[in-house]
A and B are shown apart, each in its own frame.
Chain A
């Protein structure tokens, strides 16, 4: 079983940024976006996410699986939130409603302008956030995750754990394939599990147990090998890859920090950025 990450070198503009700067930008942008319920602000952040996405050289073929997943989740959440329950966590939506239409049968249901506009705002907000993060797996080299998080303040051991985990992935995928083949040779059929849900899950055991136990046993050898090489001793460590901030990275981080500060101040001090409905929609 061959396992591959979605990353490949694309020579895109986004890849020229330091991965630490990109993580800081993405995470601070997440904290920025969640401060707003005003669609005008959210459209700005959506534009930023679209711009970033357009600079990644990603194709629809590469990302369609992720997009399908996102649209399915968004549909379920927003449908239930808008139609079934009380439409959102913010009281502005239900405080002073303007009825768009109401039905009595088969169930009593009232759709308000605020509720519908809130659903649209939710779509923009969720899209801004997901589009920001969807590019990460395709445009960031998994080999650099360890050093990236080390550079962002994570301890050497934690950063090395990340590095090691990515290196284990192909080996464990191969072990899984070997185990699967061995069990199939004994008549085991993973794609034809019979019985109720409990029986089906229990029948996963012939696959789950050998793969897990083999990896645990090989782990003991790895622990011994690392200890023999002095991994547990303290002291300054060096990394195979090194990262260096450039001016554009500093500018990206500075932008992210400034926008986050503004997003914290605007709603709390100036009461700007809360839920907003265009006045022309209100009768």
Chain B
């Protein structure tokens, strides 16, 4: 992605934001529905890689819409109601991850993968922190409770899923791009 086009929102961004949101929504729903077995308190929530990957690949606006709208769609499909402050947190995951889109040169290069991984951690931290802190405002939780009951479980789950799956998607995308000449 060209550095100047990081915040542009043209036809390409419209289409990929819509695809990202739909994909995140569908995968969230599928993995909620399947209730995959996991270890300890860490749930298998692999769909979170979608806003991270779409942010890294297409920029912060696409990343934000993918996370924000995708979480709404996932909750609509799963019948979980509407949690705007968590939708915002998921949007921020994509947005912060998208800030490194301008630094990506070759998706299979070690340096680019490392940068992406750093932004995965940052993005999950910022997104889940904002969502968790908003629980203080909405539910009247104190800081310690918000961190213990919402931030840490969500943050740990998201970084484990994100750190493992993001490089795999980046490598696959590099291969698809070189094969299709795009």
Task: Flag if A69 contacts B80 (CB, 8 Å).
Answer: yes
Residues of A within 8 A of B23 (CB): 168, 172, 211-212, 215
**Which of A37, A81, A86, A137 contacts B79 (CB under 8 A)?**
A137
Q: How far, in Å, is A94 (CB) from chain B's closest CB? A: 10
**Interface secondary structure of B, over-half rule:** helix
Q: A201-B160, A227-B11 are in contact. Are A165 and B180 (CB under 8 A)?
A: no
From B10, B29, B36, B135, contact of A3 by CB (8 A)? B29
A208 touches B30 (CB 8 A): no
Nearest CB of B to A266, in Å: 18
Task: State the total of A-B contacts with C-beta under 8 angstroms.
Answer: 215
The answer to whether A81 and B65 have CB atoms under 8 Å apart is no
State whether A202 and B36 are in contact (beta carbons under 8 Å apart), knowing that A168-B18, A211-B27, A213-B173 are contacts in the complex: no
A133 to B87, CA, bound (A): 13
Contacting B at CB under 8 A, from A100-157, are: 118, 121-122, 125-126, 129-130, 133-134, 136-138, 142, 157
B141 contacts A89, C-beta separation under 8 Å? yes
CB of B138 within 8 A of CB of A126, answer: yes
Q: How far is the CA of A161 from the CA of B73 in the complex (A)?
A: 13
The interface stretch among A44-52, A216-224, A242-250 is A216-224
| Chain B residue contacts of A231, Cβ below 8 A | 11, 14
A80 touching B148 by the CB < 8 A rule?
Answer: yes
Against A, the Cβ 8 Å flags (1 = close, 0 = not) of B11-39 are: 11011111101110111011000101111
C-alpha spacing A223/B14, complex, angstroms: 9
| Contact among B76, B149, B168 with A137 in the assembled complex (CB-CB below 8 Å) | B76
Nearest chain A residue, comparing its CB with the CB of B143? A89
- B115 contacts partner chain A, Cβ-Cβ < 8 Å: no
- Cβ contacts A1-26/B at 8 Å (1 or 0 each): 10111100000000000000000000
A76 within 8 A of B: yes
Beyond A27-B84, A158-B65, A162-B69, 11 extra complex contacts between A and B, CB < 8 Å: A3-B29, A34-B138, A89-B140, A161-B14, A168-B23, A172-B23, A176-B30, A197-B160, A201-B46, A216-B173, A232-B11
Q: What are 12 A-B contacts with C-beta separation under 8 Å?
A: A69-B80, A136-B81, A165-B18, A168-B23, A173-B26, A197-B39, A197-B44, A211-B27, A212-B169, A213-B176, A219-B19, A227-B11
Chain A residues proximal to chain B, CB less than 8 Å: 1, 3-6, 27, 30, 34, 37, 62-63, 65-66, 69-70, 76-77, 80-81, 84-90, 118, 121-122, 125-126, 129-130, 133-134, 136-138, 142, 157-158, 160-162, 164-169, 171-173, 176, 190-191, 193, 196-198, 200-202, 204-205, 208-209, 211-213, 215-220, 222-223, 226-227, 231-232
B residues whose Cβ falls under 8 Å from a Cβ of A: 9-12, 14-19, 21-23, 25-27, 29-30, 34, 36-40, 42, 44, 46, 49-50, 53, 65, 69-70, 73, 75-84, 135-145, 148-150, 160-161, 164-165, 168-169, 172-173, 176, 180, 182
